[in-house]
Amino acid sequence: MAKDNRKGFLARCRILHVIDDDAQHCLLTNILQPDSSFSIERSQTGLQALKALHSRPTANLPNLVIIPWIMPLLTSREFTREMKSDERLRAIPVIVMSASLPSEEIAALYDAGVSCVLATGTDYDSLALALRALKNFWVECAILPYSRWP
């Protein structure tokens, strides 16, 4: 039977969460990181996140970026377009979380370069279910850019 190397891989998975809401960040962290198998970093605004991403060496880039649909200072589309315009950042998946979106906005987000629009619902149970699904696919199954696969 083949050896499962995922545990070592997950230990090196890095998520950047761009959110100005302390409660939402705490909830995301509590659901995604109970076993501390990967790291979650936070930026308060899209501008702060872009500045940090542009200044980092490639080896320290996150494997995944999670943003809300409504962000301060930059829209989620502006943030994604700016991030995807940088060759080093282009491959990093961007997940947009929202309780509800007009269908034309969903298409515009994908046109801007997002990898996934995640419907979170409006209550705790719906949000928790969506975050667990996000963890299951994007963290535990997908092989992400800038991963250190054993």
Is 7 a member of any domain?
no
Is 42 a member of any domain?
yes
Beta strands across the sheet bearing 14-18: 39-43, 14-18, 64-68, 94-98, 116-119
Is 132 a member of any domain?
yes
CATH code of residue 36: 3.40.50.2300
Which tens digits make up the pLDDT trace of 76-112? 999 999 999 999 999 999 999 998 888 899 999 999 9
**Low pLDDT (below 50) residues in the chain:** 1-3, 8-10, 150
Is 100 a member of any domain?
yes
Is 1 a member of any domain?
no
- CA triple 148-29-83, angle to 5 deg: 60
Q: What are the residues whose beta carbons fall under 8 Å from the beta carbon of 110, sequence distance 6 or more?
A: 117
Is 148 a member of any domain?
no
* Total domains in the fold of the chain: 1
Which pLDDT does position 2 carry in this prediction? 47
Question: In which domain, by residue range, is 84 found?
Answer: 15-139
Q: Classify burial at 26, counting beta carbons within 10 Å of its beta carbon; exposed 0-12, middle 13-18, buried 19 or more.
A: exposed
Which pLDDT does position 36 carry in this prediction? 59
Is 8 a member of any domain?
no
Which pLDDT does position 128 carry in this prediction? 85
Which pLDDT does position 88 carry in this prediction? 93
